[in-house]
Amino acid sequence: MTDKFKFYSWSVSLYSGKARAYLIKQHIDFDDISPADPHYDAHIRPAIGRWIIPVMETPQGEIVQDGVDIIDWFEHRNMARQPAYPKTPKQLISSLIMEMFGVEGMLRPAMHYRWNFDQDNLDFILQQFGLFAMPHLPVEERRDMALHAAGRMRKAAVQFGVTEDTAPEIEAAYHELMAEFDAHFSAQPYLLGGAPTIGDYGLFASLYAHLGRDPHPLRLMQEKAQMLLRWTERMRNPSADMVEFIGCDESLIGSDTIRDTLKTLLRRVASDYLPEIEAMVSFTNECLSDNKPAENEVVGGESLGRGIGKCRFEWRGRQVTAVVMPYRIFMLQRIQDAYDGLDEVAQKQVDGLLGETGLSSIMHTRADRRVERRNHREVWV
Ligand SMILES: N[C@@H](CCC(=O)N[C@@H](CS)C(=O)NCC(=O)O)C(=O)O
């Protein structure tokens, strides 16, 4: 037993970045540990039933998998220095929407900018994957083995809808998005003022390991969006790191205010991700009525990343085909659950914001069955 939390993760892992930022911001005493550590194979993997990161092990030996579950472990015990979930309705729902967007909605730019710029990225990525996965091997051998893993990840990029046809639009949209983030973080240190919330942590998933760390997209961010870059630094700093916001304190903006620059980002979710959510949910509902999965059945089968099929939708004048991932239903449900838990007055306030930003349909685009996380898996209930 040790008195520190153990965080099994890699710096190159998208989902690890979200939970790590939370641990850093809450001043949790933890160590980053590679899943290459023998303890992972001996104890962690058998307990969760597959190889996946991030995983947290508490000082008492409890094992927690998944970014949401790790964050909620602290939130549910009132151990958060700065709670991740805002207390007011519009801020809570906006933050949860941005969480989903960062964790799932930005995977196309994240995958494109990692895997389609070999000249700038490949050497770095292979060295990094090799280093974290096989630190005991000689450098040359590490690189060859990482090359094999890279082939699998490139295929995953296509599954998410990154193709030669969509690439120019993915780039155009990402340049617009960078400018929108830059405008927001020029006015505010975090999404909702002087402290990070769940939306910041979710966004940090895509905006760190891939878009804020791999050489090509990092350079883009340095050139095009310095205030966004500053936010990525801030999210890795245990201090509030608001040096350019003199006089700003570590609190959220009052009166449940949503700044115009955040409304612009919500409109971006409506234009860039809502069409996929709608197609994904309608595909899922057809699938549910055809297959009628049993209660507690692991969604999409045992292996990670195996979606339940593919959906098609129109985006910026292109037809995009993308894998339907059960985890995305779970993330969408979080927003809808939070909305359902509000009283009627608060719901009306949220409805106003969603109407103004083109997101009204997000609350009634629902899967016919719920996805819950049980025993470290997503299951149908
Ligand atoms: N929903 C999970 C997703 C975790 C996840 O997909 N992690 C990736 C690394 S970023 C992984 O472990 N992949 C294993 C594999 O592809 O075999 C979470 O947020 O923790």
The pLDDT assigned to 326 comes to: 87
Q: Report the distance separating Cα 164 and Cα 184, nearest Å.
A: 31
Of 207, 304, 332, the residue with max ligand 1 atoms within 8 A of its CB, to mutate for a pocket test, comes to: 304
Residue 95 CA, chain-centre distance (Å), reads: 12
33 CB contacts (<8 Å, ≥6 apart)? 6, 7, 8, 9, 39, 40
Decide if 235 is inside a domain.
Answer: no
Count the Cβ atoms, other than its own, within 10 Å of residue 272: 22
The pLDDT assigned to 301 comes to: 65
Comparing CA positions, the residue from 288, 275, 375 lying closest to residue 326 is: 288
Q: Report the distance separating Cα 333 and Cα 106, nearest Å.
A: 18
**360's tokens:** 């009204």
Distance 305 CA to ligand 1 centre (A): 8
Comparing CA positions, the residue from 287, 265, 99, 111 lying closest to residue 196 is: 99
Reported residue count of the chain is: 381
The pLDDT assigned to 232 comes to: 98
**374's tokens:** 């049980």
Q: Report the distance separating Cα 300 and Cα 88, nearest Å.
A: 35
Contact 119, 224 (CB under 8 A): no
Count the Cβ atoms, other than its own, within 10 Å of residue 259: 16
Domain boundary among 57, 76, 95: 76
Distance 52 CA to ligand 1 centre (A): 5
Decide if 338 is inside a domain.
Answer: yes
The four Cα atoms 23, 25, 28, 31 give a dihedral, to 10 degrees, of 50
Decide if 299 is inside a domain.
Answer: yes
Domain boundary among 61, 76, 91: 76
Q: Report the distance separating Cα 268 and Cα 359, nearest Å.
A: 10
Q: The CATH number of the domain where 69 resides is what? A: 3.40.30.10
Of 53, 69, 148, 154, the residue with max ligand 1 atoms within 8 A of its CB, to mutate for a pocket test, comes to: 53
Residue 66 CA: which ligand 1 atom is closest? 20
Decide if 308 is inside a domain.
Answer: yes
Distance 133 CA to ligand 1 centre (A): 14
Decide if 321 is inside a domain.
Answer: yes
Q: Report the distance separating Cα 285 and Cα 238, nearest Å.
A: 43
Distance 261 CA to ligand 1 centre (A): 31
Decide if 64 is inside a domain.
Answer: yes
Decide if 71 is inside a domain.
Answer: yes
DSSP strand pairing (63-65 vs 310-315): unpaired
Residue range of the domain that includes 68:
5-76
Q: Which residues sit opposite 5 in a β-bridge?
A: 30
The pLDDT assigned to 302 comes to: 58
Decide if 15 is inside a domain.
Answer: yes
Count of the separate structural domains present in the chain = 2
Domain boundary among 76, 92, 120: 76
* pLDDT tens-place values along the chain, 381 residues long: 568 999 999 999 999 999 999 999 999 999 999 999 999 999 999 999 989 999 999 999 999 999 999 999 999 999 999 999 999 999 999 999 999 999 999 999 999 999 999 999 999 999 999 898 888 888 888 888 888 888 888 888 999 999 999 999 999 999 999 999 999 999 999 999 999 999 999 999 999 999 999 999 999 999 999 999 999 999 999 999 999 999 999 999 999 999 999 999 999 999 999 999 999 999 999 999 998 989 988 886 655 456 889 999 999 999 999 999 989 999 999 999 999 999 999 999 999 999 999 999 999 999 999 999 999 988 999
**Phi-psi region for residue 305, left (φ > 0), alpha (ψ -120 to 50) or beta?**
left
Comparing CA positions, the residue from 32, 25, 76, 26 lying closest to residue 54 is: 32
